[in-house]
Structure 1
Amino acid sequence: MEPGHPPPRSPGAIRALFLRKSVAPLRPRRLRGSPLKNAPAGGTVRDLPGCASEPLPVSCALSSAQHITAALEYRGLVKHTGGCHCGAVRFEVWASPDLHVFNCNCSICTKKQNRHFIVPASRFKLLKGAENLTTYTFNTHRAQHTFCKTCGVQSFYTPRSNPDGYGIAPHCLDDGTVHSIVIEDINGKEWEKAVKEHKTIKDMSKP
């Protein structure tokens, strides 16, 4: 063997080297861990980047929860978490990091200083504390003013304007996910007129 030359390979080693160069290994795409970031909203697993048609490779099989998360992230939403003061009630909600918050001057919102942003029911999840919640209603009884029995804090409720969604108190969110807040005053003293004239409030609870 001449100096500076590598030792000769055995036939088995040569064959293994040939196979490594000839056969590209299958690289799983995020089978576990964070979901794909660019999943199209409302798509199916088959629509996700890198996924083939039938049969689906196991590397493309996202769980339902992962697929929903990927679709929400694709729309620019983030997962906020929050709760009441005593910690008995905890929730998570998917919404923009830049919140559009309503400041209503109706009788009850004035009393409890109710500022809230609206999300569809499908983007809200109560993590714990259902047994610790109680609800106050009045007048039309459409608004469900839900609060913690222990500490009295209303961290979310069902607004009369959007009974198919939730109104979330931004001041009850945990730190770290809100980038900015824009506050819009709404004339709750003339509720029917204000909601009728508002261009977008009814759409805020639509998925």
Structure 2
Amino acid sequence: MIEVSGGCHCGTVRFTARMPDAPVHALDCNCSICSMTGFLHVIVPHSEFELLTGRDALASYRFGTGSAEHLFCSNCGVKSFYQPRSHPDAWSVNANCLDEAVELEIEQFNGRHWENAKARLDGEQAGG
């Protein structure tokens, strides 16, 4: 496991997280919000993530099913992490918001066809 730190552009939101050693698995989603914001997903279990500062500065945005809670800094607008629909027991951390770059193994996630992409992802995680 490696420990990383990161946050938003203005520094109001800061976090630490533990994730498997490099290469770190990341998802590159092509849904409307991820493609527009350049979000590169690293899934981190809630127990391996700690929000250090900025809780009161986080604004929330939901769309579609409303299952995902997109959190962004109300000062600078950067979404450094959020609660994804695909992993309700984990945070999705934006690899682009880490203080130090980590080696990534990037997998494409077809968020424009979310249900099919999620089923494929679940099959891969089950070893299938």
Same fold (TM over 0.5): yes
Quote the residue 2:105 is aligned against: 182
* Corresponding position: 1:122 with 2:47: yes
Using the size of structure 1 for normalisation, the TM-score is 0.57
Give 1 or 2: higher helix fraction. Answer: 1
Quote the residue 2:78 is aligned against: 153
Using the size of structure 2 for normalisation, the TM-score is 0.90
Give 1 or 2: higher strand fraction. Answer: 2
Quote the residue 1:195 is aligned against: 118
How far apart, CA to CA, are the structure 1 residues paired with 2:88 and 2:54?
21
How far apart, CA to CA, are the structure 2 residues paired with 1:144 and 1:201?
23
Quote the residue 2:68 is aligned against: 143
Larger radius of gyration between Structure 1 and Structure 2: 1
For residue 95 of structure 1, the aligned residue among 19, 26, 33 is 19
Task: Encode CA deviations 1:95-146: one digit per residue, 9 max, x unaligned.
Answer: 0231111011111111112211101111000001100100100111111110
Amino acid at match of 2:50: K
**Secondary structure in structure 2 of the residue aligned to 1:175:** coil
**1:12-51 pair list within 5 angstroms:** none
Quote the residue 2:34 is aligned against: 109
Greater relative CO (CA pairs within 8 A, separation 6+):
2
Change (3 A) 1:96 1:156: same
How far apart, CA to CA, are the structure 1 residues paired with 2:124 and 2:55?
30
How far apart, CA to CA, are the structure 2 residues paired with 1:107 and 1:97?
30
Task: Encode CA deviations 1:24-68: one digit per residue, 9 max, x unaligned.
Answer: xxxxxxxxxxxxxxxxxxxxxxxxxxxxxxxxxxxxxxxxxxxxx
**Secondary structure in structure 2 of the residue aligned to 1:135:** strand
Pick which of 183-192 and 193-202 moved more.
193-202
Q: In structure 1, list runs of 5 or more residues that go unmatched.
A: 1-76, 203-207
